[in-house]
Structure 1
Amino acid sequence: MRRFLAAALSFAAIPAAAQEPTRTEMTVRGDTPGATYDRRIFTQFAEHLGHGIYEGLWVGEKSRIPNTRGFRTDVVGALKRLGVPVIRWPGGCFADEYHWREGVGPRGRRPVKINTHWGGVTEPNTVGTHEFFDLAEQIGAEAYIAGNVGNGTPQEMAEWVEYMTAPSGSLADERARNGRKAPWKVPYFGVGNELWGCGGNMRAEYAADLTRRYATFVKAPAGTRILKIAAGANVEDYRWTETMIREAAGQIDALSLHYYTIPGGWPPKASATVFDEAGWAETLSEAWRIDDLVTKHSAIMDKYDPAKRIFLAVDEWGTWFAGDPGTNPGFLRQQNTLRDAMVAAIHLNVFAKHADRVKLSAIAQMVNVLQAMILTDGAKMVLTPTYHVFMMYKPYMDATVLPIEIKAPWYNKDKWTMPGVSASAVRGKDGVVRIALANLDPNRADTVVATVPGVTAATVTGQVLTAGTMTALNTFDAPDAVAPRPFAGARVEAGVVTVTLPAKSIVMLELR
């Protein structure tokens, strides 16, 4: 470790053009397969925030923008191609004050409220329960409903669950009158959101008691099941995790964790697009923290749940920068560069390492908000570098994790030091072994030499995501500036895979 750190520090003084490639040695343990890489790790998050719902997803049936029952066909099509497994809705902090009855019935009669959390703009409640489930069905995703513990009641929560899921009864009749006779499936229900903050500024003990109470009344119809996800900790609040799982384990199936990558700290003030190498390094170093956080929260959960019945749901993560210039600060609109793609790859690789406990994660957010998959402007749409990372990792869904042992060089800039290569590997349901590699060093290539015991491979192919600059991004005028390209920099011979990993790149290999 010290030898690699010393080497990284000495290389910092050498001009980029003169630097030799670094070297990474790794073993992909095809002979000792691990846990399943749960497809729900690719969950998306859609909150009533800025243009995340309205304009980004919903344009209305009468819009000139092509749509299906109000939802724009280009965005829905892109999300469907991504294979989004689950969508979390309606928040976030918005869920902490959301009253479901305001979003059902004739749209023209629904109350118009002020979105007090996000921008102080009006919320027309045009997209409510029926519209959300239509969106989920169009995309082919399951529903993760976030309930209101903040200023709602257990009765209100119980009635919403019954309205959505009951096959018969007065609420089922009301649902039918509103256009849906058959009940919906609600596989996942969030018992509150961020109870330590916007969900009520609660103490951990009080939040655990409320979670026990509210969860008691989230009841599934006979023959069905609703997994209850408790509002877990913020970043390194390990006491919150311990209190919640100790006191409420009997009433919950999962515990959430929220962690945002925020260079410069809170409140977010760094630019999403204007940054130097120090800004690149700080952001990626902060992203790497997710490994330590998941490790420590998981250890606490192991203490009370050694069988790992309760899973960890990292259901808010991603970059958070200052909003794009000229936009409403409360809309959290930010562009998305190659740096964001690296942050996504780091997280997805870390989740492979912790696949025995992490069974769901949700990047924030799906469209037009924070580290979005998609950006829109009127009729225009562009896929972000982060979207392309998720597409590259799509074959990880429900694959078997192959543990890795890795000895990577350190990358450092100023005070920011981290492993220079992030990696993971899986054996897909199709039998193909895939290895994901991310070279975080923006200046130097890396030669990866990987042994693969338990894997028989004659060929290796791949894709690479990179660009000429750290700040490269996709725009409506240049939508493919950062997009995957075929990769020919790998070879396999005698059970050894050798890869020339370009600087600032993400590579997905397939061994056949």
Structure 2
Amino acid sequence: MHQIKRRSFLAATGAVLISPRLTAQPAEASQPGSLGASVTIEREPLHALPRTQYGHFLEHLGRCIKGGVWAEGESEDMFLGGIRRELLAEMRAVKPALIRYPGGCFADGYHWRDGIGPRSQRPLRKNLAWSRLGQKLGPEEDNHFGTDEFLRLCEELGAEPQLTANVGSGTAAEAAAWVEYTNGPKDSKWGSERVKNGHPEPYQVKYWFIGNEILGWHELGWQKPVQYVETLKRYAQAMRRVDPGIKLLASGTFGPNPNHAEIHQTLLQGAGDHFDYLSVHLYATEWVAPRNLWRYQILNRQRRPSRGLYYEIMAALSVQQQYLEDCISDLRQFSPAGKPIKLSFDEWNLWYRGYSDLYQSNFNLRDGLWVASALNLHHRYAQELELANISQMVNCLGLIVSTNQGTFPTASALVFRIYTENVGDELLPSQVDGPALPHPTGLPVLDVSATRQGDTLALFLVNRHLDAEVSSRCTCQGLQVGTVAKRVELHHPDAFKYNTYADPRALRISERSETLKVESDGAASRFSVQLPAHSLTCLVLEAKNL
């Protein structure tokens, strides 16, 4: 395996350049004002919205597990002997539908047997994937947080677990044995080991990744697509002999790739009968630091006060949109006849600073609003985009910050709370007419997702303008809406505000009842709502068919 240097590794992991424009001086601030926009919502649903779009990710990287999720010895009152109670509460608050583990790149150097049995007897191992970037990102692994700890955490949180089998340095037999450990009967070889370790009943792990980013030269044991096709078949056959009901995920591209169609065609036509989901990754960011350190330094200097950077971040969504459309097009074109393969977008997020963010990061209100727009985007592609995992859950690119100094949610975690608490199970068609952001992408200022469950309508409205509030006129075709709405909002006067150890609730969700002036003509209902600048507003109201 060739050595990978820090800069070249980060360049290979899917960070993408949104725009070539980045000036040394921040753009002049505009005067606050009010903008108008109209939203039209149709009654007949487009498609179902799977809860599995609200997934998360944990990896043995930086401070995600060691010192984050797992803080063994810090106090006596810890869940499973190593998880802070306050962290458990924050994880529960985002209502994770899925959690992926143990990686990520770490997975292709991880042998699951190291992480079972009495903790005192588990071996100390080198972090093969991340120690190449230094001990801070890849400290030695004591394996005290392993399979049973992870799966019991998922049980506690009500989350569906996803496990990534080791392709880079493992075998199909090792992966099949792991399936037997988690899903096998009590009297099977590895099922009996699970019983000894305190869990008599099978965990019934449904989702299994066959490697991670295995087509990339940065990955341990990386393979070319034609090689990986044979690996997929071998692993799938071995794992499904143990449990025919599992769902398997194949590793596709990880970021925009001019050869995406050729790569995905090779996988889908060569092994599509053997897997259920195509796994793809994208980290959207406005810079390419490994290639341009001068540009990176400019960005860091203006990161907080820059109005120009604010819109660059919002515009990053256009790259994610194009990437998802390309991947979905490949699925439609190359999936086996009679077996449509679904998309799993299981690593996505903003990624700013490269190395330091992999250890521990924080996300401000601007970043949270970008996440809200990303969730709205995922709703639109939900027919094919069935699984999605934001990367990651704790500390390392984490939605939640948790160390021995304290635990608090970032703005992105608060956004997830608003969506998972209120989202419906169907997406309704919606159209926005209004001004565009002051950016070449021309993205609309107002971003909307309309969801419904029974007689409850939930509207997610993201005002992406930095300075101006939006007066939105909403028309609900074929629906009679109620006059009293629950209004849930994430807003702060400072769009660049962070929660911190010193002020862990600087950003918080507000909720109140709002009376709407509803006009109805027998064919539609209409009302207006005011949306603060740089804010997320969720309106939940009764909606019955006319």
TM-score normalized with structure 1 length: 0.90
Q: In the alignment, what sits opposite 2:14?
A: none
Residue identity matched to 2:188: G
Moved more, 381-390 or 290-299: 290-299
Is the Cα–Cα contact under 8 Å of residues 129 and 220 in structure 2 kept in the other structure?
Answer: no
User: Which of 62, 67, 81 pairs up with 2:78?
Assistant: 67
Structure-2 separation of matches of 1:316 and 1:40: 14
1:27 matched to 2:40: yes
1:304 matched to 2:339: no
1:103 matched to 2:130: no
Q: How many residues align?
A: 490
Structure 2 SS opposite 1:509? strand
Structure-2 separation of matches of 1:233 and 1:468: 39
Structure-2 separation of matches of 1:510 and 1:439: 17
Is the Cα–Cα contact under 8 Å of residues 362 and 399 in structure 2 kept in the other structure?
Answer: no
What is the 5 A alignment of 1:42-441?
A: 42-60=54-72, 62-64=73-75, 66-70=77-81, 71-118=83-130, 119-167=137-185, 168-197=187-216, 198-219=219-240, 225-237=245-257, 238-239=260-261, 240-265=263-288, 267=290, 269=296, 270-271=299-300, 274-305=304-335, 309-322=340-353, 329=356, 331-370=358-397, 372-378=398-404, 380-395=406-421, 399-413=425-439, 417-428=442-453, 431-441=455-465
Is the Cα–Cα contact under 8 Å of residues 220 and 226 in structure 1 kept in the other structure?
Answer: no
Structure 1 unaligned runs (5+)? 1-11
CA drift at 1:307: 6.5
Structure-1 separation of matches of 2:350 and 2:29: 29
Is the Cα–Cα contact under 8 Å of residues 288 and 346 in structure 1 kept in the other structure?
Answer: no
CA drift at 1:22: 2.2
Moved more, 270-279 or 208-217: 270-279
Q: In the alignment, what sits opposite 1:4?
A: none
Structure-2 separation of matches of 1:177 and 1:108: 15
Closer, same or farther: CA 470–231 of 1 in aligned 2, 3 Å: same
Residue identity matched to 2:247: L
CA drift at 1:436: 0.6
Structure-2 separation of matches of 1:13 and 1:199: 43
The one-character-per-residue Cα deviations of 1:313-342 (angstroms, maximum 9, x if unpaired) are: 11000011116xxxx738431111012101
Structure 2 unaligned runs (5+)? 1-25, 131-136
Q: How large is the RMSD of aligned CA atoms in angstroms?
A: 2.4
Structure 2 SS opposite 1:511? strand
Structure-1 separation of matches of 2:268 and 2:515: 47
CA drift at 1:264: 0.9
User: Which of 535, 541, 546 pairs up with 1:505?
Assistant: 535
The one-character-per-residue Cα deviations of 1:393-427 (angstroms, maximum 9, x if unpaired) are: 014556111121222321125x5642222211110
Residue identity matched to 1:477: A
Is the Cα–Cα contact under 8 Å of residues 318 and 343 in structure 1 kept in the other structure?
Answer: no
Structure-1 separation of matches of 2:506 and 2:366: 14
Moved more, 184-193 or 77-86: 77-86
Moved more, 236-245 or 304-313: 304-313
Q: In the alignment, what sits opposite 2:509?
A: 484
Is the Cα–Cα contact under 8 Å of residues 25 and 450 in structure 1 kept in the other structure?
Answer: yes
The one-character-per-residue Cα deviations of 1:90-114 (angstroms, maximum 9, x if unpaired) are: 0001111111111112212222122
Closer, same or farther: CA 84–13 of 1 in aligned 2, 3 Å: closer
Q: In the alignment, what sits opposite 1:450?
A: 474
The one-character-per-residue Cα deviations of 1:31-59 (angstroms, maximum 9, x if unpaired) are: x2121111111111011111211222222
Structure-2 separation of matches of 1:277 and 1:248: 47
Closer, same or farther: CA 113–256 of 1 in aligned 2, 3 Å: same
TM-score normalized with structure 2 length: 0.84
Closer, same or farther: CA 242–498 of 1 in aligned 2, 3 Å: farther
Deviation beyond 4 Å, 4+ runs, structure 1: 12-15, 268-273, 487-491
Is the Cα–Cα contact under 8 Å of residues 143 and 185 in structure 1 kept in the other structure?
Answer: no
Structure-2 separation of matches of 1:47 and 1:379: 21
Structure 2 SS opposite 1:341? helix
Is the Cα–Cα contact under 8 Å of residues 65 and 72 in structure 1 kept in the other structure?
Answer: no
Residue identity matched to 2:36: R
